[in-house]
A = this chain, B = another copy of it.
Amino acid sequence: MTSLADLQTPALIVDLDAFDHNVATMAAALPGERLRPHVKAHKSTAIATRQRDAGHRGFTCATIREVEGMAAAGLGEDLMLANEVADARRLGAVVEAGARVTLAVDSKATIEAAAAGGVREVVIDVNVGLPRCGCPPEEAGRLADLARARGLEVRGVMGYEGHAVGVDVEATRAEMTRQSMELLVAAAAAVGGELISAGGTGTYALNTWATEIQAGSYVLMDTAYAKLGLPFRQALTVLSIVISVTPGSWAVADCGLKALGMDHGNPSIDGADVWFCSDEHVTFGAAALPAVGDRIRVVPAHVDPTVAYHDRLHVVHGDEIVDTWPVDLRGW
């Protein structure tokens, strides 16, 4: 097996100890079906398999491709596509092949798409404060009636407090979550069904109203979530090699815009000050600059769009590569 020193850079590295800690910590806090791990953060059935082995049998997906890939990997016991689609025929084919697929709907048009595409089970997606998908809370009951009239099984509601999950101050995050979940619980009463699906890594311990939490980032982590003081360790880094040094000023490593999700800003490098990223470069200053050929670790600001640029995760224990996990759920 390739050693860490021989890997072509930039390369995604998963620290196995940190990863195992994160999976175990979350499974202790939210055991079994209290967690519906979101696969969008890692897009890897190898990681999802480890989450299942930790006791979680239902999963959350963001794309049709993620649903298809999870089902094909034998992880289709209870898949929720927590997103609306305008054409559900590929999902209907997954159901036909034997997987359980529950689709989010928030309008007459998406209910119609679900039924026409061969999906049998839905949740009513409720807007709980983030201006994105989800119906107004007061319309949830009416949509549930509409879905049932169209022959769909309504399993309950989902509502993502995405405006709260990244808020630094825990008390504020908790209060925003409470307000959102009051809306969702009221909608759930109007909708019926058993599921109240919500939450993310930032609110997994604060959201006590949801019956299940859709967290995903916790397994790998990033600098944005690291600021919240959660009990999860940074398991993901990008291995990069220094290719240019201007003595006394700055250094450049080969990890740039095509290896990093940039919507949350620049990545971090331990002991260095990141100046900017270019397509294939990160320029940084440091009190002690490295030398050309040195290998460094770059910590992404946002895990999800970072992983989506790569086709595999190299799993390390210390300096030894012990496994390679394909990022096999990319694309749409």
Binding site for B on A (CB under 8 A): 8-11, 40, 62-64, 83-87, 106-107, 109-110, 113, 127, 131-134, 136, 162, 241-246, 249-250, 252, 254, 257-258, 261-263, 275, 277-281, 283, 291-293, 302, 304-305, 308-309, 311, 331-332
Residue among B9, B258, B292 making CB contact with A304, cutoff 8 Å: B258
CA–CA, A252 to B134, complex, Å? 10
CA–CA, A280 to B83, complex, Å? 9
If A252-B132, A252-B133, A263-B257 touch, whether A244 touches B107 (CB-CB below 8 Å) is: yes
Residue among B107, B131, B302 making CB contact with A250, cutoff 8 Å: B131
Contact between A311 and B331 (Cβ–Cβ < 8 Å)?
A: yes
If A63-B280, A304-B258 touch, whether A244 touches B133 (CB-CB below 8 Å) is: yes
Nearest B residue to A11, CB-CB: B332
A112 to chain B minimum Cβ distance, whole angstroms, is 9
Contact between A278 and B63 (Cβ–Cβ < 8 Å)?
A: no
Across chains A and B, which 8 residue pairs bring their CB atoms closest together, nearest first?
Answer: A109-B292, A133-B244, A84-B243, A262-B263, A257-B305, A258-B308, A86-B293, A62-B280
Number of copies: 2
Residues from chain B with Cβ under 8 Å of A261 in the complex: 257, 262
A330 to chain B minimum Cβ distance, whole angstroms, is 8
Contact between B293 and A279 (Cβ–Cβ < 8 Å)?
A: no
A69 to chain B minimum Cβ distance, whole angstroms, is 14
Contact between A292 and B244 (Cβ–Cβ < 8 Å)?
A: no
If A258-B305, A280-B83 touch, whether A332 touches B10 (CB-CB below 8 Å) is: yes
CA–CA, A305 to B259, complex, Å? 9
Residues from chain B with Cβ under 8 Å of A311 in the complex: 331
CA–CA, A332 to B253, complex, Å? 14
Contact between A107 and B309 (Cβ–Cβ < 8 Å)?
A: no
Contact between A243 and B278 (Cβ–Cβ < 8 Å)?
A: no
CA–CA, A83 to B282, complex, Å? 13
Contact between B275 and A243 (Cβ–Cβ < 8 Å)?
A: no
CA–CA, A281 to B134, complex, Å? 13
Nearest B residue to A136, CB-CB: B246
Question: 9 A-B pairs, CB-CB below 8 angstroms?
Answer: A8-B64, A83-B280, A83-B281, A107-B245, A109-B293, A254-B332, A308-B309, A309-B309, A311-B331
Residue among B83, B263, B291 making CB contact with A243, cutoff 8 Å: B83
